[in-house]
Structure 1
Amino acid sequence: MRYSSQVKPISYLKANAAEVLTHLAEQREPLIITQNGEAKAVLQDVASFEETQETLALLKILALGNQDVAAGKVKPVAEVIARLRAKRSDD
């Protein structure tokens, strides 16, 4: 995705806030806001933000899993299943 078409100055945001919010919700593309010609902020709709946060959380879980594998903190699946079955039959 190219963001060059999604760049607006802060004055545009101030003058067209309602339109910008509608556009964000419909297009689901982020909008880069500039101030004095420099990128200062990125606006995105709430649904896209929530999806991004969920994706980041999953990536963190995967990274932690990879760290455990690298550190040797793993057990064979057969062993784990056997332990779970043993616990279930104790109940």
Structure 2
Amino acid sequence: MRYSTQIKSISYLKANAADVLGELNAQRKPLIITQNGEAKAVLQDVASYEETQETMALLKILALGNKQIEQGKVKPVADVVKRLRGQVSD
């Protein structure tokens, strides 16, 4: 994605807030907000934000799983299945 077309000044945002929000929801592309010519913030639609948060949560779970594997904190699948089957029949 080319971010050069998604850069607007804070004064543009102030003057066109409703239009900007409409574009964000329609295009689902982040918008970089500048102040005094310097990037200061990124604005995005709620659906994209939620997807990003869900992705981050999954990546954290994967990283935790990899760390547990490296530390040897794992059990063979057969042992886990036996344990689960034992709980179901109790």
Q: TM-score range by the shorter chain?
A: over 0.9
Separation in 2, partners of 1:63, 1:48 = 22
Aligned to 1:54: 54
Structure 1 stretches of 5 or more lacking a match?
A: none
Show structure 1 runs of 4+ deviating over 4 A: none
* TM-score with structure 1 setting the length: 0.96
Query: What displacement does 1:4 show?
Result: 1.1
RMSD: 0.6
Q: Kindly provide the CA deviation profile for residues 30-88 of structure 1, in whole angstroms up to 9, marking residues without a partner as x.
A: 00000000000000000000000000001001110011001000011011000111111
Aligned to 1:41: 41
Structure 2 stretches of 5 or more lacking a match?
A: none
Aligned to 1:86: 86
Aligned residues: 90
